[in-house]
Structure 1
Amino acid sequence: MSRSKSAIQEPTVISDFKEITKMRLSLSVVFSSLAGYLLGVDVIDLKVLVLLAFGGYFMVGASNAFNQIIEKDLDALMDRTKNRPIPSGRMPVNTAFIIASIFTLLGIIILYTINKQTAMFGAISIFLYTCVYTPLKTKTPISVFVGAIPGAIPFMLGWVAATDNFGIEPGTLFALQFFWQFPHFWAIGWFLFEDYKKGGFFMLPTGKQDRGTAVQVIMYTIWTIIVSIIPVFGFTGELKLSVVAAVIVFLCGLFMLHYAVRLFREMTEKAARQLMLVSVSYITLIQIVYVIDKFIR
């Protein structure tokens, strides 16, 4: 009996741990960091690569855990989040806080072993996400702007880990992921509008599913496309892009823009969901193209 019980409980504990740290999101952020590292490094150091992966995962996991502690009462109001470990009662707040604290310490220590700047930017991302972005979500749509800053740090963080230097190159990587987050999060805010409203979250720039929001989605998608091809013009130091890669990146951007325009035309939750899915594919593809281009150029 006890064996069958533990067999049932074990996946629950594991799945709750994945949920409190948002494992899938954390792994996608780690992917961004590793792509940034590969772009910045001359000779790949597997030890640094592994440290960056674990350090990045701990930092993002900590941010997500702190976020769920702060928003536990609001999460209980929304269908999307009411079954999370804390609002459902499966995980005590104290347990989540211990996990978040341990992850923060481990993340900063591991990133510090790479270099001080990497640890500093990691710490800044946790602070902004937890102490600024999370409280602002229920007060103003500007929260998306604030949240885009820690969200854009990972791609840049990889370059800083590789070079111990912050300049035009990691700044460009930061700008690319920064602008991309607006159409991405506004698409999510659009198709989850009613659910977010239950929790009192203001995610859309106009506060409504209207033409004003759709126009801004298009504008920020265009900014994303522009920033993504800037390295081909040679303005970004060691961050370079071949003409062929720039064309591929540009075409990927036009594909995403097509779905942004579709949202403007159709104004539906289905169109917003499609844009969100395309935006995830877009940022992943862009990072892969950048890395492949560097190593075959």
Structure 2
Amino acid sequence: MKTAIDSTKSSALALIFADFKEITKARLAISVVFSSIAGYFLGAYEIQWTHVLLLAFGGYCMVGASNAYNQVIEKDLDALMKRTKNRPIPAGRMSVKLAMTVAIVLTLLGVLALYLLNPKTAMFGAISIFLYTSVYTPLKTITPLAVFVGAIPGAIPFMLGWVAATNDFGIEPGTLFMIQFFWQFPHFWALGWMLDDDYKSGGFKMLPTGKKDGATVLQIIMYTIWMMVVSVIPTFGITGRLQLSVPAGVLVFLMGAVMLGFAFKLYSNRDNASARKLMLASVSYITLMQIVYVIDKFLS
């Protein structure tokens, strides 16, 4: 009997943990934390691991809170889409009240953790939650410009790490922000292309032209080129302490060129398979680019 009870408790805890991961979008949150830590390594004169832990914890809480608020607001629309109908709220596994409690607690914990680093970091984290929840989320059913707004909180993490390390905002974190800002568009529009039918069933307007057409892909190509340009600007020594050696700059540019190649492939094929390849290439690009930046700093 005791074994059966213990097994039931373990199963219940596993389900609660799974729903917590779902309501906070754990995979997305971890990728955001990765970007923040990369930015911290780039900005830090000396790495303090307690600061890294605070940044990781605070960053996860802020992203988790944003996603929890988002799922509360969009619960009825999530129920209409295949990819979201089994989320905790529309599936009935979590009440709106509990989800809001999770979001509020994560907000408070996240702001506190980031404030312990410095007030500027907490401020940018709070701005990120506000823009994602109060501006981006409601705009998604109104205009494709929502993606532009959403790219702002989406670009904050890389910059946030630098601010956490330096308590300063200048050209260096501004450059990191712009890299991830321009990256958001090809990444998200590739995802939007793949999920266009599902998004439309929920009333979301995600593609820039509203269609899976050549004009949408041309914008993807344009923003990818801008991303490539901004990503190599630190090679020219005009971005303060944020420097990139010539070999590292060439490597980053070539990685961007690979991503651009997938964008041109999407223009040629106009199919979901090409959009998926571009989306995966964009994920690889942002991760490898940040690793190259960090390694180059410590080798230079």
User: Which TM-score applies when normalising by structure 1?
Assistant: 0.99
Matched residue, 1:23:
26
* Residue type of the alignment partner of 1:260: A
Deviation, 1:47, is 1.0
Matched residue, 1:62:
65
* Residue type of the alignment partner of 2:31: S
- State yes or no: 1:9 paired with 2:12: yes
* Residue type of the alignment partner of 2:260: L
* Residue type of the alignment partner of 1:147: G
Matched residue, 1:292:
295
CA distance in 2, matches of 1:91, 1:2: 22
Q: Name stretches of at least 5 consecutive residues in structure 2 with no aligned partner.
A: none
Q: What SS class does the counterpart of residue 244 from structure 2 fall into?
A: coil
CA distance in 2, matches of 1:6, 1:194: 39
CA distance in 2, matches of 1:250, 1:3: 54
Deviation, 1:120, is 0.4
Q: What SS class does the counterpart of residue 121 from structure 2 fall into?
A: helix
Matched residue, 1:98:
101
* Residue type of the alignment partner of 1:165: D
Q: What SS class does the counterpart of residue 47 from structure 2 fall into?
A: coil
User: Quick one: which of 201, 205, 212 aligns to 1:202?
Assistant: 205
CA distance in 2, matches of 1:12, 1:51: 27
Matched residue, 1:254:
257
Deviation, 1:12, is 1.0
CA distance in 2, matches of 1:113, 1:264: 47
Matched residue, 1:77:
80
Matched residue, 1:243:
246
Matched residue, 1:215:
218
Matched residue, 1:43:
46
Matched residue, 2:152:
149
Deviation, 1:11, is 1.4
- State yes or no: 1:109 paired with 2:112: yes
> Structure 2 matches for 1:157-236, cutoff 5 A?
157-236=160-239
CA distance in 1, matches of 2:232, 2:119: 30
* Residue type of the alignment partner of 2:166: T
Deviation, 1:62, is 0.3
CA distance in 2, matches of 1:5, 1:115: 44
Q: Name stretches of at least 5 consecutive residues in structure 1 with no aligned partner.
A: none
Deviation, 1:9, is 2.1
* Residue type of the alignment partner of 1:284: T
Question: Which deviations, in whole Å up to 9, do the C-alpha atoms of 1:125-145 show, x marking residues without a partner?
Answer: 000000000000010000000
* Residue type of the alignment partner of 2:28: L
* Residue type of the alignment partner of 2:298: F
CA distance in 2, matches of 1:9, 1:34: 33
CA distance in 1, matches of 2:10, 2:298: 46
* Range moving further from structure 2, 46-55 or 170-179: 46-55
* Residue type of the alignment partner of 1:22: K
CA distance in 2, matches of 1:3, 1:235: 61
> Structure 2 matches for 1:105-144, cutoff 5 A?
105-144=108-147
* Residue type of the alignment partner of 2:42: L
CA distance in 2, matches of 1:178, 1:72: 27
* Range moving further from structure 2, 79-88 or 1-10: 1-10
* Residue type of the alignment partner of 1:43: E
Q: What SS class does the counterpart of residue 201 from structure 1 fall into?
A: coil
Q: Could you tell me the percent identity over the aligned residues?
A: 66
CA distance in 2, matches of 1:241, 1:43: 19
Q: What SS class does the counterpart of residue 112 from structure 2 fall into?
A: helix
User: Which TM-score applies when normalising by structure 2?
Assistant: 0.98
Q: What SS class does the counterpart of residue 212 from structure 2 fall into?
A: coil
Give the aligned length.
297
Q: List 4+ stretches of structure 1 deviating above 6 A.
A: none
CA distance in 1, matches of 2:5, 2:82: 33
